[in-house]
DNA sequence: TGCGTTATGTTATATAATAACATGTTTGTA
DNA sequence: TACAAACATGTTATTATATAACATAACGCA
């Protein structure tokens, strides 16, 4: 529950051992659930792992296909959406509204702001938290007497890497 | 093309003559189009007027029904979406991603930030521009070397009015 | 007037999400 | 252990949102 200053995502910044990154996220997830008394079932765990395995936000139907491919039996939309709803409730994933897609949350224990840089070229979504920005948001709301329950900040453009390399357009 | 400091929307703040508000928006729209050499056809004008007549963001299919109701002949989705795409391109409306809905832009000539306070109780969407917030956004992007093409900031919660009155839940 | 461009009409389909009800699984407890 | 309540998943159908592809109409200028 620490307060974030600035949390650059380890995903985007450099090459890294993503397997380790995933298993760390899965372990955190189990802790979160055990604290909240929620059940981390195998379906939910599979969904979360698939989401973490992708560096790009994953759509519900893509996820559904991946689950089906892994399991011989057919998987219907509600199965996926229920797992996604659960993970959203636990703060373990975010929904990116401008993409109708989902991505793992890099700091599930802190205030659950939904702040992303989204690259149109490579499709990566970089979660960020920045105290100065949050202060401005809170001030703005306060000036309107508005009370915030949830926030979604999506900045769409080109990441540093794609600017440098010319960035292949998204498939 | 002036730089906004803070632009409270006339819609939300107080009671006002909304007819005048709409006709002013329509006139601005014609100016914007004439400057950009785009054609403000009657379909597009009808769509824009319907959007402005609603204080709440309007979905494409709702809009389609309203058009159909007004015109004896049937209206198909592409008709509406093409008009919406045009209005988005001209900066005359915004898309609110968390609602899949559209709303008139209150300051089409300034930098086209997409910043909204969205009330869960009454459904109103209040557009705002605030220099301090924009500076924080730009700083954040700069720190990641990210270049912003478009931004979407949606703060979901309860407006001052609904907090005061208890606010009827959204139909 | 005629030609190229832009806008709209039309039909079909893709994509995203939920409703409603049936079945299975876990958990605590008598 | 056996049972009931709560929770999770399966299944079928449907709703909601958006676009593709091609046909026709209107406009704007040489």
Do A141 and A101 share a domain, yes or no?
no
B155 inside 8 A of chain A by CB = yes
Tell whether A37 and A98 lie within a shared domain: yes
Tell me, yes or no, whether A92 and A115 share the same domain.
no
B117 and B102 fall within a common domain:
no
Q: Is residue B9 part of a domain?
A: no
pLDDT value of residue A6: 42
Q: What is the mean pLDDT of chain B?
A: 89
Are A31 and A81 found together in one domain?
yes
Q: Is residue A1 part of a domain?
A: no
Q: Is residue A157 part of a domain?
A: yes
Domain coverage including residue B81: 16-106
Count of beta carbons in the 10 Å neighbourhood of residue B102: 26
Chain A residues with CB inside 8 Å of B130's CB? 136, 139-140, 143
Distance CA B54, CA A143 (A): 24
Query: What number of C-beta contacts closer than 8 Å exist between A and B?
Result: 133
Which CATH number covers residue B132? 3.30.1490.190
Q: Which residues of A131-141 are buried (b: 16+ CB within 10 A; e: fewer)?
A: ebbbebbeebb
Domain end residue (candidates: B106, B122, B153): B106
Say if residue B40 is in the same domain as residue B117.
no
Q: Which nucleotides of C are covered by protein (CB under 7 A)?
A: 6-12, 15-20, 26-27
Can you tell me the distance from the alpha carbon of A9 to that of A125, in angstroms, rounded to the nearest whole number?
Answer: 10
Q: Are residues B21 and B90 in the same domain?
A: yes
- Domain match, A128 and A94 both: no
Question: pLDDT tens, position by position, for chain A (171 residues)?
Answer: 333 334 444 344 445 778 889 999 999 999 999 999 999 999 999 999 999 999 899 999 999 999 999 998 889 999 999 999 999 999 999 999 999 999 999 888 777 689 999 999 999 999 999 899 999 999 999 999 999 999 999 999 999 999 998 776 555
The Å distance, CA of A79 to C1' of C21, is 15
End position of a domain, from candidates A106, A133, A162: A106
Structure tokens at A114: 């939904």
Flag if B137 and A137 touch (Cβ within 8 Å). no
The CATH number of whichever domain residue A56 belongs to comes to 1.10.10.10
**DSSP character string of B38-100:** ----HHHHHHHHHHHH-SS-B-HHHHHHHHHHHHSS---HHHHHHHHHHHHHTTSEEEETTTT
Cβ distance B125 to B117 under 8 Å? yes
Write out chain B residues lying below 8 Å of A111, CB-based.
Answer: none
Residues A116 and A87 in one domain: no
Percent of chain B with pLDDT over 70: 87
Query: Does B160 lie in the same domain as B88?
Result: no
Q: How far apart are CA B71 and CA A129, in angstroms?
A: 49
The tally of domains found in chain A comes to 2
CA distance B57 to A147: 19
Which of B87, B106, B125 finishes a domain?
B106
Whether A121 is in a domain gets the answer yes
* Site of tokens 């930098």: B111
Q: Is B154 on the interface with A (CB under 8 A)?
A: yes
Q: Which residues contact B49 (CB under 8 A, 6 or more apart)?
A: B22, B26
Residues in chain B: 171
Nearest to A24 by CA among A106, A83, A110: A106
Q: Establish if A8 belongs to a structural domain.
A: no
In a domain, A60, yes or no: yes
Contacts of A157 in chain B (CB under 8 A): 141, 146-150
User: Token match 């592409």: residue?
Assistant: B78
Let me know whether A122 and A44 are in one domain: no
Residue A146 lies in a domain: yes
Domain shared by A26 and A86, yes or no: yes
Q: From the list B126, B141, B149, which residue is nearest A120 (CB)? A: B149
């Amino acid at each position: 529950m620490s307060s974030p200053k600035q949390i650059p995502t380890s995903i985007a910044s450099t090459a890294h051992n993503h397997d380790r990154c995933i298993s760390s996220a899965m372990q955190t997830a189990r802790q979160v659930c055990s604290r909240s008394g929620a059940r981390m079932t195998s379906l939910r765990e599979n969904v979360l792992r698939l989401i973490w395995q992708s560096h790009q936000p994953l759509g519900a139907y893509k996820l559904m296909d991946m689950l089906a491919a892994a399991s011989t039996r057919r998987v219907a939309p509600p199965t996926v959406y229920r797992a996604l709803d659960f993970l959203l409730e636990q703060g373990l994933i975010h929904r990116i509204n401008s993409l109708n897609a989902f991505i793992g949350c890099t700091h599930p224990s802190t205030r659950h702001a939904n702040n992303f840089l989204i690259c149109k070229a490579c499709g990566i979504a970089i979660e960020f938290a920045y105290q100065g920005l949050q202060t401005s948001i809170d001030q703005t709301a306060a000036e309107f007497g508005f009370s915030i329950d949830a926030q979604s900040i999506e900045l769409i453009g080109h990441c540093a890497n794609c600017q440098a390399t010319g960035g292949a357009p998204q498939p």
